[in-house]
Amino acid sequence: MRQTAYVASPYGFAESTRLFYTEQLLPLITRHVDVIDPWAVDLPQGDDRWLALGDIHLDSIAERADLLVACLDQEPPDNGTVIEVAWAAAHGKPVIAYRNDLRQGGEEGLRYNLMIGAVVRRSGGTEVGSLAELDDALARFADT
C-alpha cells in the first residue's frame, strides 16, 4: 500500500507560485506517494468556515497522512505551514522540510529558525534544499 503525504505550503495563495505547485511539486511527490492536497479542499460554508477549514487540514494530517512534505520557502516561512510541521511531528508523522529559498532564515548557518529544524529532526524527517533532494528523500520514505 502506498504511503500518503500531506503537502503543507503557502503556494496556493499566489498566482506566482501556483504553477510551480501544480506543474512541478505535486507531480514529483505523486511519483512516490499519494497526496493530500489542502489546496484542493472546498471551503466549508458558514460563518466559521475558516475555523472549520483549519480543522479539516489538521485532521487530515493527524488521521490520514503517513508523512508531511513542508514547503518552507519565504522569509520567514509561512506561519500556517510551520504550524502544520509542528502538528505532524506531534502526531508522530515524519516531516520532509523543503526549502529552496536562497535567504538564510535562522540562526547562523541554518536555513530557518532552529526550532523548525529541531522539530523536523525529532519527527524522524529530513531537510532538503532542492527538488532533486526532495525526490531522493521521498524515495527513501516510500520504501519504508
Percent pLDDT > 90 in the chain is 67
Amino acid 127: pLDDT: 95
- DSSP bridge partners of 6: 36, 68
DSSP 96: E
Cα dihedral 4, 144, 96, 102 sign? negative
| pLDDT band, residue 28 (cuts 50/70/90) | very high
| pLDDT band, residue 3 (cuts 50/70/90) | very high
Q: How far apart are CA 64 and CA 60, in angstroms?
A: 5
Asked if 39 and 12 count as a contact pair (C-beta separation under 8 A), the reply is: yes
Output the average pLDDT for the chain: 92
Cα-to-chain-centroid distance, residue 123: 13
Q: Rounded to whole angstroms, what are the CA distances from 30 to 5, 22, 106, 132, 133?
A: 9, 11, 30, 14, 15
Largest Cα–Cα separation, the chain: 45
Q: How far apart are CA 5 and CA 138, in angstroms?
A: 10
Domains within the chain, CATH numbers bracketed: 4-142 (3.40.50.450)
Asked if 96 and 126 count as a contact pair (C-beta separation under 8 A), the reply is: yes
Amino acid 104: pLDDT: 74
Amino acid 42: pLDDT: 83
Amino acid 123: pLDDT: 97
Q: What φ, ψ does residue 77 adopt, rounded to 5°?
A: -60, 155
Q: Is the pLDDT of residue 2 over 80?
A: yes
**Nearest-10 Cα torsion for 130, 99, 125, 105:** 140
Q: Is the pLDDT of residue 139 over 80?
A: yes
At 79-133, the pLDDT tens digits run 999 999 999 999 999 999 999 887 777 777 777 888 999 999 999 999 999 999 9
